[in-house]
Amino acid sequence: MTDPGPDRLTPGAASAPPPRGFSTLVTLACTLVVVFYVGLPLGPLIRDSSSPLAALGRPEDSLERLVTRELDLREAMRGGPLWERRLYRVLVGGDDPVGQAAMWYEELTEVVDSVSAELHRAILLAESGQVDQMEEAVAGWKTGAESAARMATWLRAAYGGTPPEAQEGRDLVAELRDELPADWFSDTLASRIAARIGDADTAARAESAILARGRAVQQRLRGLIALVTLLLAGGAIALVRMLVRRAPARVADAPLPPDWGPADGYALFVRGLGAPQALILTVIVLLRRETMLEPLLIMAADLPVFWWVARYLRARDRSRPGAFGLVPRRDRWLRLVSAALVLIAVALIGDTLIDAAGGLVGLKSHWADGFSEDLLWDPRWLFTLDALNAIVWAPAIEELIFRGLLYGTLRTRLGVWPAALSSAVIFALPHGYAAAGSLSVLMSGVLWALAYERTRSLLPGLLAHSANNVLSTLWVVGLLRL
């Protein structure tokens, strides 16, 4: 058996011979890769040794950026309108950001050996009113290290029992200014020392620096909130219009269940998901390290998926656009936009509810779940590739594989809801998120599958998927990278 070949017409024959099937060996090999790829994130959970920090390359730098921007922003929002603070708490959660950050740093200091991380944790403990715990943490430092001794002196000058002399305090502020980057931690430490020695000007300058950085982030946040508000309003208007007019939802005419049988659909799915992972793994093993061109490698590895699907459909006189509803009729473009806006709005509301419910039952997403270090730290040229992959390429390939192939194939044997839920579970597993993050991905997978069923087109889900990744990218760039 071989992979499907092109149509071959015998001279004088009226039609092509039946297309050939799939290689059992290739299907089996791809199945093994898929099982490994889908099940790999479950390994640490089964062993109860999972830490989201293990997936990060620069956990200390990433947490420092996240915490400093968050606390700068919170300081700026204190002088803003009350509704803005309340809305931000609904979107992000956390009534005690300092205490939460202290817990994050406690986790970090258990997996990295860093004096600066210990300093940051101690500052957060003191700022959350846990001065005794700060003293205990400082007492456990390696007293022989010169840097640790200097940092302990700064902390005791800022939060200890007896304030330092005025000149000693000014010298300590100058010293920490020379050694620490200008961020929330250093400005807070300088402000506390200056306030204790009565140096109001130095304290005011440190607080003004925090406020200035926070206001810059606040302006970008307002732009993001305005964009989300527009999307929610557009989704609400589109939904009301659909309900009032009882407009049909169909955008295109993709056949569901599809024309292929479960065996062919399964073979296409495992090739589409397994072959790219095998290619990426092979390249990394040959190079013996990860490559800076990983986004290009990922996109290049996905190309055979389109070739396999196009070749299979062509051999059966079907077009890919027609099979997956990728070309709407001229009079259905408004339906397409409306369906996409509804999906985006429902997903935004669903994510907010999941986060809120998770916080109530102690299942709030870990800060490192899905944290995009590439978008944060990569140089500009590589960041452009990362963004292109996240916003354009990944939605296209994932919708084709998980909705077009997997959901479509499941529909040959299952009803709409069982097929939607099953495909969404398989879609969520490789992401490797904790409970709240996985539930969010699961919800999106179900929504996009149902949209494919109702509209007979992958385009509404693809656009909603892309919009979700655009918002995530803008969030990282606007609040953390810039």
d(CA 455, CA 242): 13
Give the residue from 84, 148, 139, 146 showing the smallest Cα distance to 113: 148
Tell me the two tokens of residue 376.
């944060």
Q: Using N-to-C axis directions, what is the helix angle for 59-77 and 184-196, rounded to 10°?
A: 60
pLDDT at 4: 44
Query: Confidence band (pLDDT; 50, 70, 90) for 19?
Result: low
Q: Is the pLDDT of residue 283 over 90?
A: no
Residues 423 and 275 in one domain: yes
At residue 392 the predicted structure's pLDDT band, cuts being 50, 70 and 90, is very high
Q: How far apart are CA 239 and CA 453, in angstroms?
A: 17
Asked if pLDDT for residue 3 goes beyond 70, the answer is: no
Same domain membership, residue 347 and residue 203: no
Domain final position from 193, 216, 239: 216
Q: How far does Cα 343 stand from its chain's mean position?
A: 18
Contact call for residues 232 and 345 (beta carbons, < 8 A): yes
Nearest to 216 by CA among 423, 77, 322: 77
Residues 403 and 428 in one domain: yes
- The single-letter code of the amino acid at 339 is A
Using one digit for the tens of pLDDT, what is the confidence trace for 203-239?
999 999 999 999 999 999 999 999 999 999 999 999 9
Asked whether residue 146 is domain-assigned, the answer is yes
Say if residues 341 and 235 touch (Cβ distance below 8 Å): yes
Same domain flag for 197 and 295? no
Q: How would you class 91 by CB atoms within 10 Å of its CB: exposed for 0-12, middle for 13-18, buried for 19 or more?
A: middle
What are the pLDDT digits (tens) for 119-158? Answer: 999 999 999 999 999 999 998 886 557 889 999 999 999 9
Residue 337 placed within a domain: yes
**Cβ-based neighbour number of residue 168 at 10 Å:** 14
Q: Is the per-residue pLDDT at 345 higher than 90?
A: yes
Q: How far is CA 466 from the centre of its chain?
A: 12
Q: How confident is the model at residue 1 (pLDDT cuts 50, 70, 90)?
A: very low
C-beta of residue 423 within 8 angstroms of C-beta of residue 445: yes
- The rounded distance, in Å, linking the Cα atoms of 39 and 339 is 33
Judge whether residue 13 has pLDDT over 70: no
What share of the chain has pLDDT > 90, as a percent? 70
Work out the average pLDDT over 344-362: 87
pLDDT at 136: 93
Domain membership of residue 87 as a residue range: 54-216
Residue 12 predicted with pLDDT over 60: no
Plot region of 288 (φ>0 → left; ψ -120 to 50 → alpha; else → beta): left
CA distance 457 to 321: 9
Q: Are residues 175 and 255 in the same domain?
A: no
* pLDDT at 42 (0 to 100): 64
pLDDT of residue 288: 65
**What value does the mean pLDDT take over residues 258-284?**
92
Does residue 422 carry a pLDDT above 70? yes
DSSP H/E element including 234 = helix 200-245
Cα four-point dihedral sign 12, 18, 22, 24: negative
Question: Tokens 């569901």 map to which residue?
Answer: 256
pLDDT over 90 at 27, yes or no = yes
pLDDT of residue 296 exceeding 70: yes
Q: Could you tell me if residue 37 is inside a domain?
A: yes
Q: Are residues 102 and 41 in the same domain?
A: no
Burial class (CB in 10 A: 0-12, 13-18, 19+), 260: buried
Model pTM? 0.91
Quote the CA–CA distance of 431 and 55 in Å, as a whole number. Answer: 11
Peptide bond into 17 cis (omega under 30): no
Quick one: 75 and 186 in the same domain?
yes
On whether the CB atoms of residues 125 and 134 are closer than 8 A, the answer is yes
pLDDT at 140: 84
Same domain flag for 40 and 160:
no
Q: For residue range 320-335, what is the model confidence (pLDDT) as tens digits?
A: 889 999 999 888 999 9
User: Please, are residues 471 and 228 in contact by the beta-carbon 8 Å criterion?
Assistant: yes
Q: What is the pLDDT of residue 183?
A: 97
pLDDT at 14: 41
Of 446, 22, 5, the residue nearest 270 (C-alpha): 22
Per-residue pLDDT tens for 37-47? 887 766 544 44
Low-confidence winner among 15-19, 104-108, 327-331, 371-375 (lowest mean pLDDT): 15-19
Any domain includes 339: yes
Answer whether residue 48 shows pLDDT above 90. no
Flag whether 405 is in a domain.
yes
Spatial contact of 461 and 403, defined as CB atoms under 8 Å apart: yes
Question: What pLDDT was estimated at residue 11?
Answer: 43
Q: Is residue 312 located within the same domain as residue 443?
A: yes
Mean pLDDT, residues 63-84 taken together: 94
Confidence of residue 50 (pLDDT cuts 50, 70, 90): low
Looking at the structure, tell me whether residues 185 and 259 fall in a common domain: no
Query: Does a structural domain hold residue 30?
Result: yes
Backbone phi, then psi, for 196, in 5-degree steps? -70, -25
Do 164 and 192 have their domain in common?
Answer: yes
At residue 16, the pLDDT reads 44
Domain count, the chain: 2
Q: Which residue has the higher pLDDT, 143 or 7?
A: 143
221 belongs to a structural domain: no
- Asked if residue 67 and residue 44 are part of one domain, the reply reads no
227 in any annotated domain: no
Average of pLDDT values for 3-30? 61
* Burial class for 30, CB neighbours closer than 10 Å (0-12, 13-18, 19+): buried
* Structural domain ending residue among the three candidates 192, 216, 240: 216
